[in-house]
Amino acid sequence: MSITAVSTPNIAFIKYWGNRNDSLRLPAADSLSMTLNSPHVEITVDHADTLTVRSFEADGSEKTLKEKDIMRFARHLELTKEYLKKLASSAQTPTSELTNVTITVRSQIPSSIGLASSAAVFGCLAKAYAGLVAASAETSASPLTDEQISVIARLGSGSAARSIYGGYSALRAGDGDAMDSSSAVQVADENHWLLHDIILVPTQEEKKVGSTEGHELAWSSSYYKKRLEEIPRRQKECWDAILAKDFEKLQHVVEEDCWDMHNVMQTSTPPLKYLNDATYRITDAIEELRETEHLPVLYTMDAGPTVHLFCTEEAVKAVREFAAEQKDCTIFETKTGKGAILLP
């Protein structure tokens, strides 16, 4: 019996950077994001004798997976089995066993747009595993909760925990070293506040240091401790701004946190320089535009030079025009989305 789930990336307003436990991807601090409504990833899973992973691009061509990618799926499956056993033994959820699986990934995320697909992939896979477990369990078994599914997603990619929910969600760092000591919750659903994300991609180069390795370097920056002290305040301000739909408050805290994360990255050993000249040119120009036209638009960047311009409905036309004027950039447009779902 095969199960298919669909999920999308999310973009953090308060960034997750650095773990207290790297192998379990237990974050050192809270984070908060908006789930996008596109592009999506679709994953089908089924029970099998051995683990097989196949991945297809948007044009239908099969991607050759690197050994490292397959190992990541294998490790994630082992951790998921361990977590499900833990739930079953504490009678929290009488789950069926998850043995080996075949995983088929069909991604609509163009590799050229600099959108981290791991959040969508592991959010999707967690949802699909939960569906497979529920379909194979006794009828009396209660399905996994979204919070439990977010733990499974987090074991594959920290930020993926947030893609389980639509709208706005937060990954709570929690304490200790238990596998499920950190999980995500929804802040507000996708109908609460529609924001657009106009994405400007200045380069199509693959990044040299991925976030899994990047997180491990966070502690080597002398600014990291200060970052960890500031995050609880920022997380609260961001959460409050979303609930109140206060764009100006959101803009201040999102940009403050983005520059702070990049400062930590740039001052780690070795330094991680994800931004390029085009990024700075675009963020300067947005600050100028905001000054002159009083537009509700904010920017944020993840582990790459891609600039996300978030804006309200009233500003979308002007931001689109701004984006079209930027030289040598690929533009992609998306907005607040629904989160991971199972296909019937």
Site residues (vs ligand PMV, CB under 6 A): 12, 15-17, 31, 116, 118-119, 157-159, 211-212, 215, 302-303
Strand pairing of 52-56 and 3-7? Answer: unpaired
Alpha-carbon torsion 317, 319, 325, 330, what sign?
Answer: negative
Using the minimum distance from each CB to ligand PMV, give the nearer residue, 45 or 116: 116
Structure tokens at 34: 């908006």
In whole angstroms, how close is the CB of 96 to ligand PMV at the nearest point? 28
d(CA 196, CA 62): 31
Using the minimum distance from each CB to ligand PMV, give the nearer residue, 12 or 173: 12
d(CA 113, CA 175): 35
In whole angstroms, how close is the CB of 155 to ligand PMV at the nearest point? 11
Q: How far is CA 32 from CA 47, 85, 155, 270, in A?
A: 34, 29, 17, 27
d(CA 322, CA 282): 10
Q: Could you give phi then psi for residue 296, rounded to 5 degrees?
A: -75, 85
User: How many other C-beta atoms are found inside a 10 Å radius of the C-beta of residue 326?
Assistant: 16
In whole angstroms, how close is the CB of 169 to ligand PMV at the nearest point? 11
Using the minimum distance from each CB to ligand PMV, give the nearer residue, 16 or 299: 16
In whole angstroms, how close is the CB of 253 to ligand PMV at the nearest point? 14
Using the minimum distance from each CB to ligand PMV, give the nearer residue, 118 or 334: 118
In whole angstroms, how close is the CB of 117 to ligand PMV at the nearest point? 9
Closest alpha carbon to 24 in 156, 115, 125, 147? 156
Number of H helices, E strands in the chain: 8, 16
In whole angstroms, how close is the CB of 134 to ligand PMV at the nearest point? 25
Burial track 290-302 (b if 16+ CB lie within 10 A, e otherwise): beeeebbbbbbbb
Using the minimum distance from each CB to ligand PMV, give the nearer residue, 173 or 319: 173
Using the minimum distance from each CB to ligand PMV, give the nearer residue, 4 or 157: 157
d(CA 186, CA 338): 11
Using the minimum distance from each CB to ligand PMV, give the nearer residue, 10 or 251: 10
In whole angstroms, how close is the CB of 313 to ligand PMV at the nearest point? 25
